[in-house]
Amino acid sequence: MRRPRPVAAGAHLPAITMSSSIFVILAERLVDWHTRHQRDLPWRHAPAGQRDPYRVWISEIMLQQT
């Protein structure tokens, strides 16, 4: 007797497509929302030459864990 093959979650859902203009509008709105609502965090105020992208990324990841 054969065992049923596992199916990935969402595999039965139809693909959703967006036109490129809708994608651009959505992306712009998301960036605008983030600009207005982002948290005021100290590592975002470091002078440009002193920002270490890796340390900023780690700080953001750790913030999500709390």
- Which one from 28, 32, 52, 60 is the annotated catalytic residue? 60
Enter the tokens of residue 3.
């065992």
Per DSSP, the three-state class of 2 is: coil
Can you read off the two tokens belonging to residue 57?
A: 């990324």
Q: How many residues does the chain have?
A: 66
Please say if 28 is a catalytic residue: no
DSSP 8-state secondary structure symbol assigned to residue 51: -
Residues annotated as catalytic (active site), given as ranges: 60
